[in-house]
């Protein structure tokens, strides 16, 4: 079903649409110093379809978490728009806004920060239902009992407090809490980063089950590429707030087309020496400051395949065969196709 959705673009109307979203933050530089602008996201456009899991990957400072917050309407874009079922999030007010907020929920990295240590698990799970005045107390209790079942926790946890649960159990409670309002889109921001490997796998399987049973769309923000490759239908690769590549899972599993995606995928640990990168193809240097991003292709200062023209022109996102959208001057023209051979293993 997932590949069909990724392949059959346009057949299912998107539930969430980013259209040329930019987000900037003014940064004070000190007394009498001119203010600078931090470019957190620039011209980000993509659609999310119901039941689709999209991975958002990139190094620190790539804008992943900002994108997640904008997707939920927690932060407005500086320009561009985010539409939920066709409604511009920035224009919603009153009742419509409250309804959409119920439909868009978030799971954060640290379950300890998401749960109030002084509230029992039952109180934590009942709170959103009470705030939104959903059902009688008996109905609310029935809802949370069902949700505990969905996330694979016994009813006995209800009377316990967060410190009495393991990390994996707490994250399941956080997911159950996010599900109390029957969301249609879940943003999981590094939701498994703090968990042990075996617990990570359990939470990933839980997210896959939820997508299937609830037709839940998930934006899975992560720096963990192997998990993203296993979980997501499509993957959006960000660098310095710009989309470098939007690819099907198969495209990313094959290493991607964009030199940045290729460097990221090859730098993930794999027990196969044949997939090692040649030294000249390894990702070098630090991510430049988003206060002063490089001209042209923002990746040109680190790109192993950079050409003289890369510092002068911002590459457009072009559609390539195999469900890749790529922003790189190596792709998109007939001449470029002749030089766009994938990086070869060492």
The least CB distance from residue 305 to ligand SF4, in Å, is 4
- Count CB neighbours of 233 within 10 A: 24
- Count CB neighbours of 1 within 10 A: 10
**Which residue lies nearer to ligand SF4 by CB, 168 or 293?**
293
Q: Which residues bind ligand SF4 (CB under 6 A)?
A: 259, 297, 299-300, 303, 305-307, 310, 315, 328-330
**Which residue lies nearer to ligand SF4 by CB, 73 or 296?**
296
The least CB distance from residue 341 to ligand SF4, in Å, is 12
The least CB distance from residue 314 to ligand SF4, in Å, is 9
Distance CA 180, CA 324 (A): 35
Residues in the chain: 346
CB-count exposure of residue 314 (10 Å: 0-12, 13-18, 19+):
middle
> Where do runs of H (alpha helix) occur along the chain?
2-7, 64-71, 94-103, 111-114, 121-131, 137-150, 167-179, 197-214, 225-231, 249-253, 259-267, 334-337
**Which residue lies nearer to ligand SF4 by CB, 214 or 343?**
343
The least CB distance from residue 326 to ligand SF4, in Å, is 9
Q: Which two tokens stand for residue 40?
A: 């957190």
**Which residue lies nearer to ligand SF4 by CB, 84 or 299?**
299
The least CB distance from residue 327 to ligand SF4, in Å, is 7
107: part of which helix (H) or strand (E)? strand 104-107
Distance CA 148, CA 125 (A): 10
The least CB distance from residue 259 to ligand SF4, in Å, is 5
Q: Which two tokens stand for residue 240?
A: 């310095």
Distance CA 259, CA 328 (A): 8
**Which residue lies nearer to ligand SF4 by CB, 177 or 300?**
300
**Which residue lies nearer to ligand SF4 by CB, 74 or 318?**
318
DSSP label at residue 59: S
**Which residue lies nearer to ligand SF4 by CB, 128 or 259?**
259
Cα radius of gyration rounded to whole Å, the chain: 21
What is the sign, positive or negative, of the torsion defined by CA atoms of 274, 280, 281, 287? Answer: positive
Task: Name the residue among 111, 230, 103, 217 with its Cα closest to residue 172.
Answer: 111
The least CB distance from residue 238 to ligand SF4, in Å, is 13
The least CB distance from residue 291 to ligand SF4, in Å, is 20
Distance CA 324, CA 330 (A): 14
**Which residue lies nearer to ligand SF4 by CB, 64 or 305?**
305
């Amino acid at each position: 079903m997932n590949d069909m959705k990724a392949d059959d673009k346009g057949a299912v109307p998107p539930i969430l649409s980013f259209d040329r979203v930019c987000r900037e933050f003014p940064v004070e530089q000190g007394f009498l110093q001119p203010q600078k602008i931090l470019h957190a996201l620039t011209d980000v456009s993509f659609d999310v379809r119901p039941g689709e899991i999209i991975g958002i990957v990139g190094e620190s400072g790539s804008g992943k978490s900002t994108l997640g917050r904008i997707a939920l309407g927690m932060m407005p874009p500086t320009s561009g728009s985010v539409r939920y079922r066709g409604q511009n999030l920035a224009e919603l007010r009153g009742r419509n806004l409250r309804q959409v907020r119920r439909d868009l929920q978030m799971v954060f990295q640290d379950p300890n920060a998401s749960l109030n240590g002084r509230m029992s698990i039952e109180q934590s799970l009942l709170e959103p239902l009470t705030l939104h005045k959903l059902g009688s107390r008996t109905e609310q209790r029935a809802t949370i009992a069902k949700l505990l079942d969905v996330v694979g926790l016994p009813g006995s946890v209800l009377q316990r407090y967060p410190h009495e649960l393991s990390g994996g159990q707490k994250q399941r409670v956080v997911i159950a809490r996010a599900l109390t309002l029957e969301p249609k889109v879940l943003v999981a921001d590094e939701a498994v980063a703090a968990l042990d490997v075996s617990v990570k796998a359990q939470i990933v399987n839980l997210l896959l089950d939820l997508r299937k049973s609830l037709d839940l769309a998930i934006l899975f923000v992560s720096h963990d590429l192997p998990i993203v490759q296993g979980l997501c239908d499509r993957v959006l690769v960000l660098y310095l707030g710009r989309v470098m590549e939007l690819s099907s899972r198969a495209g990313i599993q094959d290493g991607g087309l964009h030199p940045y995606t290729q460097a990221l995928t090859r730098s993930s640990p794999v027990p196969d020496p044949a997939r090692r990168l040649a030294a000249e193809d390894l990702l070098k240097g630090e991510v430049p400051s988003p206060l002063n991003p490089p001209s042209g292709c923002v990746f040109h200062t680190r790109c192993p395949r950079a050409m003289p023209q890369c510092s002068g022109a911002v590459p457009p996102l072009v559609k390539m065969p195999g469900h890749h959208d790529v922003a790189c001057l190596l792709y998109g023209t007939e001449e470029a196709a002749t030089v766009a051979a994938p990086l070869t293993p060492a």
